[in-house]
Structure 1
Amino acid sequence: MSPWASVEVRDAVGSTNAELLADPRPWHVLTTDHQVAGRGRLARSWQTPAGMAVALSATVPVPPARTADVGWLPLLTGLAVRDALTALAGPGRAGDVVLKWPNDVLVRTDADRKVCGVLCELAPASSLAVLGMGINVHQGRAELPVETATSLALCGIDVGREEVVLAVLQALAHRHSQWASPSRMPTLVEDYRQACTTLGRRVAITLPTGAVQSGEAVRVDDAGRIVIRTLGRELTHAAGDVVHATLTG
């Protein structure tokens, strides 16, 4: 049974995350045809072209016993989007959609370009979190904001936005239920590690301080942090912007 209590669709909003943070209700979903003031990680902003992409935010419970693991919410959101897009891509394309730590969704068959970004925020003074995402669906190359972006259409995944919303909500409910149950967390963690193409690569990570660190991404730990090996040391980071270099080995 689906846990989603309500799914609201609007023609246009500033930011779906901001709307839900202003009125946090558990299991409430907001999606829009046109997001004009979207927000991303590291204070990035963008517009969602009208009718071309999915801008969606969902409010989920954070049980008191799981507050120590809230760092996994952004990662499980990216994983859920990857699950949904893999299912929509169809047989034979299971490895096409992958993750870049922490939650960028990339498509291998289009040069590892990014098809989805994620922003998760805790609702103030409540036990709720807002999980937000923007998924490029119908855009052509000229309609995308940067050369490193792609869309489902450009990757040969011919689906409507309604199909994307339904698939994502189903996958998101599943991954949240795993996260909410400590006994099921090991499966979630292992599934994330298997989907994360950052591991085993040389990377450069820009930290929140602005410092840049290069090294090999050796693992994602049980807290969802990236572990970088550099100059014989292993350093752990909970946040940062990763750029992939070439595969090791």
Structure 2
Amino acid sequence: MHHLSVVGSTNVEAAERALVWSPVVAELQTAGRGRLGREWHEVPSAGLAMSVLVPLTPSPGWLPLVAGLAVRSALAEVGVAARLKWPNDVLVPGDDDRKVCGILCQLQPSGTGVVVGIGINVHHERADLPVGTATSLRLVGADVDRTDLAASVLGHLRRLHGELSDDAGAKGVRRAYREACVTLGLEVDLHRPDGTLERVTATGVDDDGRLVVDGPAGSATVAAGDVQHVRAAGVPPT
């Protein structure tokens, strides 16, 4: 692992280094971002900020989802049960399904790989967190070494990435994700980038990683880039 004290963005650093499966880990990001350019708030040495360049798989749309599944598997090893909200929010039911991890995947311009950026709230106190819907591993009683956690997440990501490249393995990965995804079966509001809102029922995740929904116009699929938020029906934006 390439450890840095301060960096603008671990995703940018990993992309510039262009070393496959060589993660960049930082004590502090000054320009961390989530999906759709959202700011990722950092507290020095409190969280795990890690990015790694991974090869493309036959199902690239599943890489963001698999990243969430890798984090969930790593958290299970330290006694923290977690669930996934499509596409890859990691929620902790032990703290009212608050979010403990954010993930940003960026396809490289060369098309040769994807940078997977993972930010986990580890040692944060409640006052450190920018919104009431966030939590940390400390707040759910987990005393975790961040270096060990990074190694565990990376190991699970490599395993799941390899399984995605095999037909039988990919079926198992998709099944595991669907079982862990709390979005499925819910009536949800799709908040579109243009400000419109659509209420639908989430019924599945297809083989390209898109959310399958039933709405007034019938069945449709939704890619992560098509929406700003997917929330349980009636839950206001935070």
Range of TM-score over shorter length:
over 0.9
Q: Which residue of structure 2 lines up, in the alignment, with residue 243 of structure 1?
A: 231
- 2:10 aligned with 1:16, yes or no? yes
- 2:39 aligned with 1:39, yes or no? no
Q: 2:51 aligns with which of 49, 57, 77?
A: 57
SS at match of 2:28: coil
- In 2, Cα distance between equivalents of 1:111 and 1:47: 21
- In 2, Cα distance between equivalents of 1:182 and 1:131: 22
TM-score normalised by structure 1 residue count: 0.88
- 2:140 aligned with 1:152, yes or no? no
CA contact (8 A) 1:24 1:128 kept: no
Give ranges in structure 1 of 5+ residues lacking alignment: 1-6
- In 1, Cα distance between equivalents of 2:40 and 2:176: 30
- 2:82 aligned with 1:88, yes or no? no
SS at match of 1:33: strand
> Once the two structures are aligned, what percentage of the paired residues are identical?
43
Per the alignment, do residues 209 and 180 of structure 1 end up closer, same or farther by CA in structure 2, a change over 3 Å counting? Answer: farther
Residues 156-167 of structure 1 aligned to structure 2 (within 5 Å) = 156-167=141-152
CA contact (8 A) 2:199 2:233 kept: no
Residues 90-129 of structure 1 aligned to structure 2 (within 5 Å) = 96-129=81-114
CA contact (8 A) 2:4 2:27 kept: yes
- In 2, Cα distance between equivalents of 1:62 and 1:10: 26
Q: Which residue of structure 2 lines up, in the alignment, with residue 181 of structure 1?
A: 166
- 2:66 aligned with 1:76, yes or no? yes
TM-score normalised by structure 2 residue count: 0.92
CA contact (8 A) 2:10 2:50 kept: yes
Q: Which residue of structure 2 lines up, in the alignment, with residue 4 of structure 1?
A: none
- In 1, Cα distance between equivalents of 2:166 and 2:115: 19
CA contact (8 A) 2:46 2:121 kept: yes
Q: 1:170 aligns with which of 142, 148, 155?
A: 155
* Shift, 1:126, TM fit: 4.4
Shift >3 Å, 4+ stretches? none
Figure out how many residues of one structure are paired with residues of the other and give that number: 231
Give ranges in structure 2 of 5+ residues lacking alignment: none
Q: Considering only aligned residues, what root-mean-square deviation do their CA atoms show, in Å?
A: 1.5
